[in-house]
Amino acid sequence: MANYILADNQELTRFAVESLLCRDERSVVYHAFDKAGLIQLLKEHESATVVLDYTLFDFVDVEQLVIVSERFALSQWLLLSDTLSPDFLRKVVYATHQFSIVYKDCRLGELREALQALARHGRYISQRALEVLVSRQQEAEEPSLLTATERAIVVGIAQGKTTREIAAERYSSVHTVITHRKNIFRKLGVNTAHEVVKYALRAGLINPSEFYI
């Protein structure tokens, strides 16, 4: 019997992945909707395969994700996301062999191949992820590339303000601020707001007193 934990807060993805897994009558699928629930399920099923969209889950940063995976050394992880930064990919791929990676826009056959590899206790890194890892033509990620507007939004994020609050302060639309946030994430090579703040603190973009605790 194979145990799977679907840790994805996107209903359509859960339905699609579960449909693939349930074709094997020996598969049992559990659902986790936050980090605490995921850890509880892993305590009960230590050798389970976790299918996770990191970008939609409540992990603080990649280091916390790696710590949880190492805590449950018998588990396997398939990271299934729309986008993952080059820095994130390098960290998870080189941290442990527990992680496999596939993007949500992949062919159905590729997702099936990944799940089959995991069923054999193998590892699967999609071609797209491999290209990101080996590419020497990544965009520069220096904080100096942030515009004045982007730096101001980073400060707002550090102060714990919501996107709507930042937009109101800047007399901008929520859509505009969301676009700026995406550009900040891309330039800094991160996936979460917490990582943006950590990066900005290290780079001196913001004063530690402005950091929201």
Each residue's pLDDT, cut to its tens digit, for the chain (213 residues) gives 789 999 998 888 889 888 888 887 788 999 999 999 999 999 999 999 999 999 999 998 899 999 999 999 999 999 999 888 888 888 888 888 899 999 998 888 899 999 999 989 899 999 888 888 766 334 444 445 788 888 889 888 887 889 999 999 888 899 999 999 998 888 887 888 888 877 777 766 666 554 544
Distance CA 9, CA 203 (A): 32
Sheet holding 76-81, edge to edge: 27-31, 2-7, 49-52, 76-81, 99-103
Q: What secondary structure, in 3-state letters, does 9-61 show? A: CCHHHHHHHHHHHCCCCCEEEEECCCHHHHHHHHHHCCCCEEEECHHHCCCCC
Q: Global pTM?
A: 0.63
pLDDT at 212: 46
The amino acid that residue 117 corresponds to is: A
DSSP 80-92: EES---HHHHHHH
Output the pLDDT for position 114: 93
The three-state secondary structure class of 185 is helix
pLDDT of residue 209: 52
Separation between Cα atoms, residue 201 and residue 188, nearest integer Å: 12
